[in-house]
Amino acid sequence: MDDYIRLAISERATLRSELNRIKNWLIFSLGKRVGKKGRVATPMNAEENRALKNLVTAEAFLGITDQETEGQFVDLTGRRVTYQNWNDGEPNNASPGEHCVTLLSDGTWNDIACSASFLTVNSVSEGA
């Protein structure tokens, strides 16, 4: 009987972990569109990347992912990312499932699991 209880507790913890991962991904995905006027920021050039770096004081999510096709990074509208500023050795998909991108404190990028918890940088469109 004790083996069944231990197994049930283990299965419950596994399911809870998976549900939290899915919840975090959904929160990030829904954050693609922030309110009616903004989106998770995606730097389109070095100047925008510098501006984002100067704005945040900690690692923060960018609106970039390779969730659909490994190694093909796109913005959250599906457009291929042309400007990139990867940290040395990145993207490396070190932990399976590193499909999101964070801006590091030095302004370079790191691929990371979308279930991680970081700030998001939002950009607001004028007139949107």
Tally of structural domains, the chain: 1
pLDDT digits (tens, 9 = 90+) for 13-54: 888 887 776 766 665 555 554 444 567 889 999 999 999 999
Can you give the residue range of the structural domain that contains 120? 2-124
What CATH number is given to the structural domain containing 10?
3.10.100.10
- Which of 18, 46, 40, 51 has the alpha carbon at shortest distance from 102? 40
pLDDT digits (tens, 9 = 90+) for 43-93: 999 999 999 999 998 999 999 999 889 999 998 888 999 999 999 999 999
Please, what sign has the CA dihedral across residues 92, 31, 125, 121? negative
pTM: 0.71
- Which of 82, 86, 117, 115 has the alpha carbon at shortest distance from 103? 86
The span from the first CA to the last CA of the chain, in angstroms, equals 61
